[in-house]
Amino acid sequence: MKNKILSSILGIFLLVSMLNVISAVSITDVSSNPSEVVPGQTADITIEIENIFDYDIENIRVKLDLTQSPFAPYQSSSEKFLDELGSEDSEDFEFQLIALPDTLSGIYKIPVQIIYEDNTGINTTKNEMISLIVNSKPELKISLEDSVTIIKGRENKISVRIVNSGLADVKFLYVTMNEANGINILSEKEQYIGDIDSDDFDSVEYNIYINPDASNTIDTPVTIKYKDATNKEFSEVKIISIRTYSLKEAQELGLAKKPNYTLYAGIAFVVIVFIIYRIRKSIKKRKKIEGR
Is residue 37 classed exposed, middle or buried when 0-12, 13-18 and 19+ CB atoms within 10 A define those classes?
buried
With vertex at residue 133, the alpha carbon angle to CA 132 and CA 139, rounded to the nearest 5 degrees, is 160
Q: Could you list the mean pLDDT of each consecutive 10-residue stretch along the chain, which spans 292 residues? A: 48 43 77 94 95 91 95 93 92 96 91 93 93 91 85 91 91 94 93 93 94 91 93 93 84 63 59 74 68 56
pLDDT given for residue 6 in this prediction:
44
Task: Find the radius of gyration of the CA atoms of the chain.
Answer: 39
Q: Quick one: pLDDT at residue 12?
A: 43
Q: What does the pLDDT read at residue 150?
A: 86
Domains of the chain (ranges, CATH numbers): 25-134 (2.60.40.10), 140-252 (2.60.40.10)
